[in-house]
Structure 1
């Protein structure tokens, strides 16, 4: 008996599952009574049903940061990424592009690539040896005599991809938000001079924070807590987020240094033709973002105890070490620091409603030599310490959000970017439910 195995092409779209009606009703009510200027109610951080809705409505529909091309420099190089119910392969192609594929074998759902990173030719599932090309096409599957298989119907499912100045973003939706393509030309001129294509990974750190992904992002979006970051405060002005009229007395001297350093940085940027104006559209568009070039304290060069450079090699086409940091925030899961001597990328990767993987990657010039041009411990010290401190802050908040005594608290003026993130999230989830 001969037969052909086929599937309708309409079934090739990834399915994130079903959020129960009672969860949607609860979420709708919580969103409708969202209190502007206050933190969100406890279930947003603790409820597994709302987490599942987040995975569908945010991470299943919007552009998310997955990796940089420095992590996959050669054809066949890949990283795998798991978040919520999703599993992805981010693969460098022979022509220098990037494919993002669902890491789900089309036979019986096994993981095709089981390592977190590596290099591969054709991708072979370890279960029954179904074999896929770099674009996900099924090129081999063992069949019995007389058994036919329509290989075109069983390619790995693909996701949308955009490469922005060497940063790889993906969207799982069939029709991704179009305004991300409007954002790309706004941010690329800021990042391009640092040239990620000419960098390499010096170090990558993975920390699991016992906190909801939204708490991780809220913590990142303010410096009201920066007194808790003594190592970072040596170079990052702790007045970040403040403005004239909001400076507490104990930070007035720091604010004065910040103002002078900002003037000097802008003069230097103008001299070199570097963009430095603040563009802030965190909750006024679907692809919310903020980008700027900001001064650093001390020598103004890098994240060190003195503000001096941490690598002897300048990046890309830059001609000066004293260029502060180019700071980029993107909703919903990433932030970046582009300096003259290195780059730091951050991704918040949800695991479940109370755990988030925070991945930090340090990039240096590809010809920089460890031990000669940079010391790895010095390069990573400030953000390793800061990440551990932020982990503790997030975990304190997660414990509080789970308590029956938890009530919403007001955001301070310096926490306006937290309010913008929550407002962005609220808008997107209302649209998702609708």
Structure 2
């Protein structure tokens, strides 16, 4: 009996109906997963942490991405650097995943020792002709934007990270995000393919039923609902939202806080991102259960609490920055069916737990939201593997960003010859 010929990833993506989801096969096959990791996590810029992961000289943070591993380190000059987590001798892993503090980076195998600037400092038994300068740690391309630490494993990283930096640096500047500390962090392994995790994040079609805590700070009209589906009261509420949003943005802009949406989501874009300053509901201060600040000591030198929510997406991360704290999340694909979701809550470095902020109030909205999303992604992943699954159409109003994300995914595959 002849074997069934599997469709290539390119053929599967091409086979989808316009405006509809991807075939279920792209979420489960190991060969497709390996292609995804190679293209979207090795050849593109990805977020792997925040500057507060390495607050002092000698602090390191190690992140595994597929078979690759990166060491993020703050050197003796307070500069953040990134290296391949591979000894230049016989390739041993230098450090395990997680955070630690070191004076030098010492290989546990044969004790080759590296300075924090990556230079090979000491070896034994290598002979008088050994040239240590040829065996420094291999650097990984690194870009810090606000507090976000982006790396790219490719020899030549996409140059359009410059647009993200140019756009986000002035938006993040008032919050002084590099001068923050981590108040809390969490990890969830979601039982779903990484693409479904990102699709879920790119829409709020599910928010009203799926995220009761998060929607306390969202005005429902801000999630892309169609006026065609509204009664007269709904249309009046939408008009009121549009006016509130316009008035708030005019007020913020007068004080120098940038508001306008920037979308680098489609076309020949390698570094996929979106940003906008959004109105927060009710008290308008923060994404908390009462929509008031969770930390009394505001970020940077801010004095104004009602600055809305400055959000940013990249293709493996999302964040929400408010006057009192920032919530920053990034993902790492683990297997075709599992994805690590890592979230960090940042506050002013001088804020004191129990005095300036309560961890539960600070985190409860997104702790609940992340858990809910994990459940939703899991049922989406399982259903997409059912033999009866036929991809359906995306909503033209509430899932437009999912369409753009999938189109971007397909375009990047083509750009890399898939």
**1:253 Cα offset (Å):** 6.8
Alpha-carbon distance change, 27 to 244 in structure 1, aligned in 2, over 3 angstroms: closer
Q: What is the TM-score of this pair, normalised by structure 2?
A: 0.93
Over 3 Å counting, the alpha-carbon distance change for 1:95 and 1:411 in structure 2 is same
The residue aligned with 1:10 is: none
- Measured after TM superposition, the shift of residue 116 of structure 1 is 0.3
The gaps in structure 1 that reach 5 residues or longer are: 1-21
Q: Distance in 1 between matches of 2:288 and 2:330?
A: 22
Query: Is there any run of 5+ residues in structure 2 with no aligned partner, and where?
Result: none
* Cα pair distance change 1:243/1:278, threshold 3 Å: farther
| Native 8 Å contact 2:289 2:361 kept in 1 | no
Residue 343 of structure 1 is matched in structure 2 by: 326
Q: For residue 102 of structure 1, what is the aligned residue in structure 2? A: 84
Indicate whether 1:123 and 2:105 are aligned.
yes
1:73 and 2:30 aligned: no
Specify the alignment match of 1:311 in structure 2.
Answer: 295
Q: Give the superposition deviation at 1:418.
A: 0.5
Distance in 1 between residues matched to 2:361 and 2:229, nearest whole Å:
31
Note the C-alpha offset of 1:104: 1.7
The reply on whether 1:189 has 2:170 as its aligned counterpart is yes
Identify the match of residue 64 of structure 2 among 82, 100, 121: 82
Q: Deviations over 1:175-207 (max 9, x none)?
A: 111111133112211111111122111001011
Q: Distance in 1 between matches of 2:248 and 2:301?
A: 17
Separation (CA, whole Å) in 2 of partners of 1:195 and 1:147: 49
Residues 367 and 214 of structure 1: CA distance in aligned 2, closer, same or farther (over 3 Å): same
Q: Which SS does the other structure have where 2:40 is aligned?
A: helix
For 1:246 and 1:52, the matched residues in 2 are separated by 42
Q: 1:93 aligns with which of 75, 79, 85?
A: 75
What does 1:241-252 align with in structure 2 at a 5 Å threshold?
241-242=223-224, 245-246=227-228, 248-249=230-231
Q: Deviations over 1:266-294 (max 9, x none)?
A: 13302311100111121232212111100
Question: Structure 1 residues 39, 63: closer, same or farther in 2, change over 3 A?
Answer: same
Aligned counterpart for 1:291 among listed residues 265, 275, 292: 275
Aligned equivalents of 2:6, 2:383: Cα separation in 1: 24
In structure 2, the partner of 1:205 is 186
Partner of 2:220: 238
8 Å CA contact 1:221–1:417 kept in 2: the answer is: yes
Match of 2:341 in 1: 358
1:149 correspondence with 2:130:
yes
CA deviation digits over 1:193-242, x for unaligned, max 9? 11112211100101110111111100000000002100111112233341
Preserved contact between residue 311 and residue 373 of structure 1 (Cα < 8 Å): yes
Q: Is the 8 A contact 1:103 1:113 kept in 2?
A: yes
| Deviating more after overlay: 31-40 vs 254-263 | 254-263
Say whether residues 1:393 and 2:376 are aligned partners. yes
Paired position in structure 2 for 1:219: 200
Conserved? CA contact 1:269–1:275, under 8 Å: yes
Q: What SS does structure 1 have at the residue aligned with 2:227? A: coil
Question: 1:336-383 CA deviation, whole Å, 9 max, x = no partner?
Answer: 101000001010111111111101100001111110111001100000
In the superposition, the TM-score normalised over structure 1's length comes to 0.90
